Amino acid sequence: MRSIASTPVSRCCLCAALAVASGPALADNTNPDISPALDRFSLWLGAYEPDSSTTVSAGLNDPAVKGRINLQRDLGFPSHRTEPRVRLDFLLGESQGFSFDYYRLDQSRTRTLDEAIGFHGDTFGASASVTGRVNFDFGSAAYKWWFGHQDDVFGVGVGAAYYRVHAGISGQATVYGPFIGQASGYASAYTTQNAWAPELQLGWRHAFSNQLRMYLNASGVKKNGSHLGGHIYDAALGLEWFPWSHVGVGAEYDYTRINIHQQHHTYNDDIAMRMDGPSVFLRVRF
């Protein structure tokens, strides 16, 4: 399992956070003008370990030659893997501010097939060595309004999200055609999709005390278009605990659904991803 603390940037942030935590006589995180459920500045450094399932469909604009594979079931991709996640929130006033979020999923796998599978008009035969890969990057930026100054606050955010998806398969394949008959050889097929799309965020935060808080986040990204479209929905329920005034830990459970389709002149492709699982964070606040 790869830890988020293994990256140079994360090590620097971790050292800074520990230095703040060990400093003398830190003031409590209280401000009479800001709800105890919010922070002036909030940094999240963590790791996301989802149970994932990815289905890729690609082929000519003809259902008869369109193939579909599930990377976990057909190619033996691991369903669990730890990936980095970073989040940043800060207020510009008492109840408005920006929120940024970034995470990624990067998996690859080489497997000898036990049975033939079809994809993008090619047939990857049994006993063939096949390599598959999927990369998913997601980042968002939103401006948020928080309502309430007591222990409970409700938030609404609007912004933009950027996503990039690359999925593909390569290996020994057999191609059938009316003119070539049957031909075998190395083949590869892939789909790459990236776009900006509007995003809507909703949130609720509750402070049990200055050290313990609970939150619920939900967001939706939807892009309409004749060539590229789809949606990304995400929800998360989490807890924060601050044994020190400015440094603590957080844990949440995320539920994510991603469906993206791309229409080309002679072919189309689709990606459907499901991710559910926990995230843990080192929390720094001011």
pLDDT at 124: 73
> Cα–Cα distances in Å, from 62 out to 172, 227, 266, 268?
23, 17, 9, 9
CA dihedral 273, 277, 278, 284 (to 10 degrees): 10
14-18, 86-90, 119-123, 268-272: range with lowest mean pLDDT? 14-18
Q: Give residue 135's pLDDT.
A: 86
Span 265-277, average pLDDT: 81
pLDDT at 105 over 60: yes
- 183-225 tens-digit pLDDT: 566 767 677 778 889 999 999 999 999 999 999 999 999 888 6
CATH number for the domain including 183?
A: 2.40.128.100
Distance CA 76, CA 173 (A): 18
Kindly state the average pLDDT of the residues 77-91: 89
Cα-based angle 45, 18, 97 (whole degrees, multiple of 5): 45
pLDDT at 27 exceeding the cut of 80? no
How many domains does the chain fold into?
1
Domain, as residue range, for 130: 4-285
Mean of the pLDDT values across residues 84-106?
Answer: 93
Is the pLDDT at 149 greater than 70? The verdict is yes
Q: What is the pTM of this model?
A: 0.77
